[in-house]
Amino acid sequence: QENLVESGGGSVQAGGSLRLSCVRSSSVPRYFSMGWFRRAEGKKYEGVAGIDASGNEAYRDSVRGRFTISRDTVKRTLYLEMSNLKPEDTAMYYCAAWPGSHHLIFGSDSQVREFGHWGRGTQVTVSS
């Protein structure tokens, strides 16, 4: 059983929009913070946005104002609304869930992997 399953990736032109979704299994505690990491080819993982169980959000500077993270507790689903996409947003996007602060999205991805859950990823490609 996969604990986190992402969907919604695709290919768009610059300026376009996409919405990513991540369904959390009942094995992942509701109180876990959740968020999105991404990794572009040849680069390291970077945290994109995180949200805690109370709905407090955090964004990396390069996506603030363009991306919106949200979660639906009843549907056990995490979302990432992405608008005004840029070629530099091209990456594999991974959903993650972990105990502790949602600000850990900007910490080590290995820490999240060790203590939390990690999805298989969904590809986002933005062409210029």
* pLDDT tens readout for residues 15-74: 999 999 999 999 999 999 999 999 999 999 999 999 999 999 999 999 999 999 999 999
In this structure, of 61-65, 106-110, 123-127, the range with the lowest mean pLDDT score is 106-110
pLDDT of 1 strictly over 90:
no
**Paired tokens of 53:** 């169980």
Q: Is 9 helix (H, G, I), strand (E, B) or coil?
A: coil
d(CA 24, CA 78): 8
d(CA 28, CA 30): 6
Q: Which residues contact 106 (CB under 8 A, 6 or more apart)?
A: 47, 50, 58, 60
Percentage, residues of the chain above pLDDT 90: 91
